[in-house]
Structure 1
Amino acid sequence: MKEVVRATDPRIAALIERQANQYVEREQIGLDRIRVLLDRLGNPQDRLPPVFHVAGTNGKGSTCALLRAGLEEAGHRVHVFTSPHLVRYNERIRVAGRLIDDDALADVMGRVLDHNDDIGASLFEVNTAAAFLAFAATTADACILEVGLGGRLDATNVIERPAACGIASLGLDHQQYLGTTIAEVATEKAGIAKSGVPLVVLRNSPEALEAIEAVAGAQGAPVLLEGRDWTIDPTLSPSLPGAHQLRNANLAWTMLSSQALVTVTLETFRRGIAGADWPARFQRLPDGPLAPERETYVDGAHNPDAAAALAAILVDRPMHLVIGILANKDAEGVIAPLAAHALSLTFVPVPDHPSHDPAGLAASFGGRAAPDVEAALRGLPEPRLIAGSLYLAGDVLKRNGTLPD
């Protein structure tokens, strides 16, 4: 699967173009190319601090942010690899607490691509190898890896023995790669399980849990299941809004408390998550070009389960919605739960990406179409919420001058 991204730094843009010229399309994802690439680079993945590996359809990025907040509050230096980025390519790689700078990113990407000519790895595989190189070169106490797609065949799944693994909320997404049933998706996600390593799992459907238990059992991984092996602690109060973030915080805490390689106390974790930051998750925009003294929020909800979680926040506070949805996403599944709490609906395209036609969405769901977010927000009363795509959310943050750090 080819990932299409852009970068403002000309060196990074040139490296992305170089990877595109090396890339060889194939029908199935797998670990063969990343393993060959890493072997040529000296296997930097074997020189990482204790790893916390997080999979899931929704919530895995938030869980990573909450893990990081707790670990850093305890004084630990933490590497983090997440995807996609919202505004700057550097957001994907955080080295010992700081986003990788352009010089370092250009260096590690160039070193990876020097070995990639005859491998043809995907951009995500190249990113993963680059992150491992950067992490291995800098001392840290912990490393957090967010699965990019699935789990079993994801490039991050080359870590042989992480400290703990976690599976956040599951739903149907990327069905061409992960399967068309929740059991098939769960089987792929559970592929991060490792022998003797705790696998912490949020409560999901019976079919999903049966699949997870089967994979974990075959791998010899002990499963710690919400509602059976641990319960939600309502006193955990993450800064990220929504009942789903309380569950993600509890997932993160159970991952931390299930292992003994890195120490974080419950009280320290509570303090950390109270200041956690994860952009484009019901984020209020500061005053800027798109939100000049107007109450405006942005959220990257892009599939039905994420939209349902966002809708639960809106139950007590309906908003004027601006929505843009990628062409390959379930428009009705995203719009229906949000529209139930909309004061008005305005549909926009997702810049630089194939997206559902705004006029067609307006005809189907009511509301109006606008050529872009600026036009959609012009004269729109408060409170306003922009949602439907992480790519749209990233564009909004960029246009408002709100850069994730």
Structure 2
Amino acid sequence: MSGTGSDAILARMMSLHPKVIDLTLDRVWRLLAALDHPERRLPPVIHLAGTNGKGSTQAMIRAGLEASGDRVHAYTSPHLARFHERIRLAGELISEEALSDLLDRTHAANGPDPITYFEITTAAALLAFAETPAEWTLLETGLGGRLDATNVVERPALTVITPIDLDHQQYLGETLEEIAGEKAGILKRGVPCVVAPQHEAALEVIEAKAARLGAPLMAHGQHWHVTTEAGRLVYQDERGLLDLPLPRLRGPHQIINAGTAIASLRMLGRDGAAAEAATGASWP
């Protein structure tokens, strides 16, 4: 191993950052090819995009899947204290030894070629996930969706779009419609998508993209509903009504995140994991 630890290798990776950021997947595809395409060897992928609630929604989906006995990889960003928080292997945060080895190999495969910090570390995470057995892989976008470094899986099991608002307008577009179009870029032909509450303009963009791709939507307000009543979380869809404890994660926005996670789990056939999704999640 050429580095002295993950922090040293991450610092070297920062030096590869292009002088001008242009949103493209070309750099990621080049590196993934050099790594023998780990994105093709992942456990089934659940891909999340959106402006708000991605991390909490992912944590709730993971809690539900793990309560069902599944091993789950998870990739999220940014981290709060240490980079290790971004990569969870089969339920456990990646160790320093494993992370250092992983980053060292990814850095060597990339060589001196320009690449963004997020792109090269995402490739490293995908390599870790491909090499570690699990039942599921949760991938959270970093910026947008269509040209995000995580958007390299040809056919995920499910996509999830959390609430969209104006963000990163210098990269994603000035209007809500443009931003929604970028985030809807994670939709794949024939792959179902769970959609959290959206502004009407954003929802119209998502619906149009889904129609073009034949991607079934499970959208809030149409196919599922969530609210609180008498200190309980009440979720309802065509399969019935669930009366559940309030989410462990606090705040009114967590009701929506819990509903999105429950809808996702039910799409994956994990109907019995709803309560665990709400009460078992911790974030970060």
Same fold (TM over 0.5): yes
Kindly indicate whether residue 20 of structure 2 is the aligned counterpart of residue 15 of structure 1. Answer: no
- Which residue of 277, 280, 283 maps to 1:278? 283
Q: Which residue of 2 aligns with 1:248?
A: 257
Amino acid at match of 2:157: A
1:90 aligns with 2:90: no
The CA deviation string for residues 275-322 of structure 1, in whole angstroms up to 9 with x for no partner, is 21013xxxxxxxxxxxxxxxxxxxxxxxxxxxxxxxxxxxxxxxxxxx
Structure 1's 41 and 276: CA in aligned 2 closer, same or farther, altered over 3 A? same
- Tell me what 2:126 maps to: 132
Give the length in aligned residue pairs: 267
Conserved 8 A contact 2:265-2:271: no
Conserved? CA contact 1:168–1:202, under 8 Å: yes
Map of 2:239 onto structure 1:
none
Structure 1 position 35 matched with structure 2 position 29: yes
Is contact 2:63–2:277 with CA below 8 Å preserved after alignment?
Answer: yes
Q: How does 1:1-400 map to 2 (within 5 A)?
A: 11-232=5-226, 234=234, 235-236=243-244, 237-259=246-268, 263-266=269-272, 268-279=273-284
Q: Which has the higher contact order (CA 8 A, sep 6+)?
A: 2
- Measured after TM superposition, the shift of residue 170 of structure 1 is 1.1
C-alpha displacement of 1:27: 3.9
3-state SS, counterpart of residue 45 of structure 1: helix
Q: CA deviation at 1:109?
A: 0.8
How far apart are residue 240 of structure 1 and its match?
Answer: 0.8
Give, in angstroms, the shift of residue 160 of structure 1.
Answer: 0.8
Identical amino acids, percent of aligned pairs: 49
Work out whether residues 71 and 269 of structure 1, in 8 Å CA contact, stay in contact via their aligned partners in 2: no
Asked whether the equivalents of residues 22 and 116 of structure 1 are also in contact (C-alpha less than 8 Å), the reply is: no
Q: For residue 5 of structure 2, what is the amino acid of its counterpart?
A: R
Q: Does structure 1 retain, via aligned residues, the 8 Å contact 2:45–2:138?
A: yes
Aligned to 1:328: none
1:272 deviates by 4.0
CA shift at 1:163, angstroms?
0.9
Q: How many angstroms does 1:79 deviate by?
A: 0.2
What is the alpha-carbon distance in structure 1 between the residues aligned to residue 51 and residue 249 of structure 2?
18
Partner secondary structure for residue 221 of structure 2: coil
Amino acid at match of 1:251: T
- Select the structure of larger CA radius of gyration: 1
Alpha-carbon distance in structure 2 between the residues aligned to 1:96 and 1:216: 31
Give unpaired runs (5+ residues) of structure 2: 228-233, 235-242
Q: Is the partner of 1:241 in helix, strand or coil?
A: coil
Root-mean-square deviation (Å): 1.6
Structure 1 match to 2:238: none
* Change over 3 Å in CA distance of 1:273–1:203 after alignment to 2: closer
Cross-structure match for 2:231: none
Residues in 1 aligned to 2:260 and 2:276: alpha-carbon distance in whole angstroms:
16
Q: Deviations over 1:104-144 (max 9, x none)?
A: 11111111111222431111111111111111111101111
Preserved contact between residue 76 and residue 87 of structure 2 (Cα < 8 Å): yes
* TM-score normalized with structure 2 length: 0.90
Asked if structure 2 preserves the Cα contact closer than 8 Å seen for 1:65 and 1:277, the reply is yes
Q: 1:239 to 1:138 in 2, by over 3 A?
A: same
Q: Match of 2:260, as an amino acid?
A: L
* Structure 2 counterpart SS, 1:274: helix
Structure 1: any 5+ residue segments left out of the alignment?
Answer: 1-8, 280-405
- The residue type paired with residue 110 of structure 2 is N
What amino acid does structure 2 have at the position aligned with 1:249?
A: A
Give the 3-state SS of the residue equivalent to 2:150 in structure 1: helix
Q: Report the secondary structure of 2:31's partner residue.
A: helix
- Report the AA paired with residue 37 of structure 1: L
Secondary structure at the counterpart of residue 156 of structure 1 = coil
CA contact (8 A) 1:57 1:168 kept: yes
